């Protein structure tokens, strides 16, 4: 009997390796029918079920196998892999760490842990794992490259550059290396080097080059060098070896630099040259949507998706256009499909809630303002007599970090500046004192929202948290945030350091934060449903999927904030 099972397992595994998952499922089901507790069959069956998208069956089979063979590192690693595929990184991390505890010398769980930590923007934790992996496999370029990105993300720019040089020639794709060097040049404020790195990237690789061009144009524009940014975009358009992604990025850059006619013409030429390339159609759709032409945006985005179904750079544009053009059902279908693959993506939760609202459904399940939007007026940390003294010190510290002259081109900020480096990694004692103030309000927030295994916010509530990013924004006259969400977050925030006197006008509400209005030209849902008045020392916590933005300030006194995002911790 055991020989027959071994042969059947080998056959099932061969079909699995050949990606014939339905056939493999039939084979493994035939084994499990008379042998429901066969650990290896359950393990392989879980892997097959995961590939077929049946994550419930995958986890059920693994749990049964685990009950028969506790603390098996291979079972734990597969469990982590399945949870990671569902973007449930908190539980995946727990599974990988358990596997590592049982088998410290096993590569797979530690490797997968390192990369999901990096994906969650937890670079210091990722570096610790990459350091061990490199000791275990010194010649593995993927581990060394992963460590380089984590160094960059943690603000260790010089060490990242040294690690690139130590990596050696030919161990990273040239386009990727040029893109990374462009990003590091921006981190260092070396604006003279930006365009050169971008050009090297797009001569090697169209997709990497498009990203590098975006980095270069944005960096130059933020530094106040808009002539150089314009020249960089135009030079990319002249490059005969450039591909459709580069053309799309250059056309978008011209739009965002204020040269809309030139941008439109560049995109039109790109479509002619590259036969209706989806990346160019998507930018055209995005710009049509921004200009209030929702139906044209919808047609363009749908055409782009026809050439590249499911592309996660196109589907968000399509969904917003479909909502604005009253193709609500299509937007909701797109959201439901995306959430099956990435259930924690906050943008798609927002689309689903907005679609439900437009259809007259009870979207308050998602947008329960009383329960989910909570202000906290903080008390001063140790060493400060009161919040006025603390905010004064924090204001001085943050203002010194606002080195750019203009807002990022591709974010929600308008008329203001944003710090570039992640403030989590600052060693400034005032900034660290700020982070020390957050334990109490975040813990209270998690207690207040509760835990419901079916709700997209509360099902992730582990009672523990990590910060996944922190930055500062300074709004100047006319400054505001357009309505947006934080796609990779869980809980988002606004902390007010300085606010202008004009916020006291409770009729105009200048500078107030508003919730519930999407960034779409849909009159019936265009106004915020909830607005909260900013004041120094006030922290507002809310779901990352909740549309939020600010009304513009009008005076000369800036509005200074220190927002951050929170994700669950295991």
pLDDT digit of tens for each residue in the chain (570 aa)?
Answer: 588 888 888 888 899 999 999 999 999 899 888 988 999 989 988 999 999 988 889 989 999 998 999 889 999 999 999 999 888 899 999 999 999 999 999 999 999 999 999 999 999 999 999 999 999 999 999 999 999 999 999 999 999 999 999 998 889 999 999 999 999 999 999 999 999 999 999 999 999 999 999 999 999 999 999 999 999 999 999 988 889 999 999 999 999 999 999 999 999 999 999 988 999 999 999 999 999 999 999 999 999 999 899 888 999 999 999 999 999 999 999 999 999 888 999 999 999 999 999 999 989 999 999 999 999 999 999 999 999 999 999 999 999 999 888 888 877 778 888 999 999 999 999 999 999 999 999 999 999 999 999 999 999 999 999 999 999 999 988 988 899 999 999 999 999 999 999 999 999 999 999 999 999 999 999 999 999 999 999 999 999 999 999 999 998 899 999 999 999 999
- Sort strands 564-568 and 473-481 into parallel, antiparallel or unpaired: unpaired
Task: Decide if 185 contacts 194 (C-beta within 8 A).
Answer: yes
Burial group, residue 32, by CB count within 10 angstroms (0-12, 13-18, 19+): middle
Q: From CA 382, how far away is CA 312, in angstroms rounded?
A: 46
In 3D space, the residue among 386, 466, 474, 400 whose CA is nearest the CA of residue 431 turns out to be: 400
In sequence order, the β-bridge partners of residue 568 are 465
Contacts of 280 (CB under 8 A, 6+ apart): 244, 247, 248, 251, 267, 270, 271, 274
| CA distance from start to end of the chain | 42
In 3D space, the residue among 142, 79, 69, 153 whose CA is nearest the CA of residue 117 turns out to be: 153
**What pLDDT was estimated at residue 1?**
53
Q: From CA 154, how far away is CA 468, in angstroms rounded?
A: 11
pTM of the full predicted structure? 0.92
Provide the 10 A C-beta neighbour count for residue 288.
Answer: 20
Q: From CA 48, how far away is CA 21, in angstroms rounded?
A: 6
Three-state SS for 452? coil
Task: Decide if 331 contacts 351 (C-beta within 8 A).
Answer: yes
**Strand extents, DSSP E, 69-226:** none
DSSP assignments along 472-535, one per residue: -EEEEEEEEE-SB--TT-SEEEEEEEE--GGGG-TTT-TT-EEES--SS--GGG-S-SEEE---
In 3D space, the residue among 477, 486, 472, 363 whose CA is nearest the CA of residue 428 turns out to be: 472
Q: Which contacts (CB < 8 Å, 24+ apart) does range 27-33 have? A: 31/5
Contacts of 427 (CB under 8 A, 6+ apart): none
Provide the 10 A C-beta neighbour count for residue 60.
Answer: 15
Three-state SS for 73? helix
- For residue 369, give the H/E element and its range: helix 369-372
**What pLDDT was estimated at residue 412?**
79
Q: From CA 234, how far away is CA 280, in angstroms rounded?
A: 16
**What pLDDT was estimated at residue 372?**
98
- For residue 377, give the H/E element and its range: strand 374-377
Task: Decide if 223 contacts 420 (C-beta within 8 A).
Answer: no
**What pLDDT was estimated at residue 117?**
97
Task: Decide if 150 contacts 127 (C-beta within 8 A).
Answer: yes
Rounded to 5°, angle at Cα 283 from 279 and 284: 115
Cα 152 versus chain centre, distance: 17
Contacts of 185 (CB under 8 A, 6+ apart): 191, 193, 194, 197, 219
Three-state SS for 565? strand
- Sort strands 413-418 and 473-481 into parallel, antiparallel or unpaired: antiparallel
């Amino acid at each position: 009997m055991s020989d027959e099972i071994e042969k059947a397992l080998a056959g099932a595994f061969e079909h699995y390796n050949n990606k014939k998952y339905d056939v493999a499922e039939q084979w493994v089901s035939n084994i499990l029918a008379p042998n429901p507790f066969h650990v290896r069959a359950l393990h392989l069956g879980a892997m097959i079920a995961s590939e077929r998208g049946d994550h419930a069956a995958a986890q059920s089979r693994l749990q049964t196998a685990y009950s028969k063979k506790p603390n098996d590192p291979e079972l734990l690693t597969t469990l982590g892999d399945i949870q990671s595929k569902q973007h449930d990184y908190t539980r995946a991390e727990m599974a990988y760490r358990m596997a590592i505890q049982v088998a410290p010398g096993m590569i797979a769980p530690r490797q997968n842990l390192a990369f999901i930590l990096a994906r969650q923007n937890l670079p210091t934790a990722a570096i610790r794992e990459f350091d061990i992996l490199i000791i275990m496999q010194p010649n593995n370029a993927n581990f060394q490259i992963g460590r380089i990105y984590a160094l960059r993300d943690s603000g260790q720019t010089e060490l990242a550059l040294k690690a690139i040089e130590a990596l050696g020639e030919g161990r990273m794709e040239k386009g990727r290396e040029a893109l990374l060097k462009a990003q590091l040049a921006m981190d260092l404020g070396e604006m003279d080097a930006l365009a050169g790195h971008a050009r090297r990237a797009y001569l090697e690789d169209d997709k990497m080059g498009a990203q590098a061009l975006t980095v270069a144009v944005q960096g130059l524009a933020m530094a106040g060098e808009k002539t150089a940014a314009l020249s960089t975009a135009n030079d990319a358009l002249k490059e005969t070896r450039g591909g459709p992604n580069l053309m799309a990025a250059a056309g978008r850059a011209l739009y965002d630099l204020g040269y809309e006619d030139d941008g439109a013409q560049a995109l039109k030429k790109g479509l002619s040259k590259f036969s209706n390339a989806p990346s160019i159609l998507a930018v055209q759709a995005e710009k049509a949507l921004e200009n209030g032409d929702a139906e044209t945006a919808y047609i363009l985005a749908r055409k782009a998706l026809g050439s590249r179904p499911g592309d996660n750079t196109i589907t968000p544009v399509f969904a917003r256009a479909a909502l604005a053009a009253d193709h609500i059902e299509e937007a909701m279908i797109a959201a439901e499909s995306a959430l099956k693959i990435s259930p924690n993506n906050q943008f798609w939760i927002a689309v689903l809630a907005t679609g439900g609202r437009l259809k007259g459904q009870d979207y308050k399940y998602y947008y329960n303002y009383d329960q989910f939007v909570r202000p906290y007026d903080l008390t001063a940390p140790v060493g400060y007599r009161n919040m006025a003294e603390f905010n004064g010190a924090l204001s001085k510290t943050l203002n010194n970090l606002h080195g750019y002259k203009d807002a990022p081109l591709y974010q929600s900020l308008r008329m203001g500046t944003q710090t570039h480096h992640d403030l989590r990694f600052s060693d400034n004692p005032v900034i660290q004192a700020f982070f020390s103030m957050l334990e109490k309000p975040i813990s209270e927030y998690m207690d207040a929202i509760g835990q419901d295994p079916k709700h997209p916010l509360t099902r992730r509530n582990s009672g523990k948290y990590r910060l996944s990013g922190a930055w500062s924004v300074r709004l100047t006259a006319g400054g505001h945030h357009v309505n947006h969400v934080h796609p990779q977050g869980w809980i988002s925030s606004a902390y007010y350091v300085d606010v202008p006197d004009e916020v006291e006008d409770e009729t105009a509400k200048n500078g107030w934060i508003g919730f519930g209005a999407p960034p779409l030209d849909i009159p019936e849902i265009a106004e915020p449903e909830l607005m909260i008045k900013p004041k120094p020392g006030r922290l507002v916590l809310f779901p990352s999927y909740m549309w939020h933005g600010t009304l513009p300030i009008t005076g000369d006194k800036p509005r200074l904030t220190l927002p951050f995002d929170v994700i669950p911790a295991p």
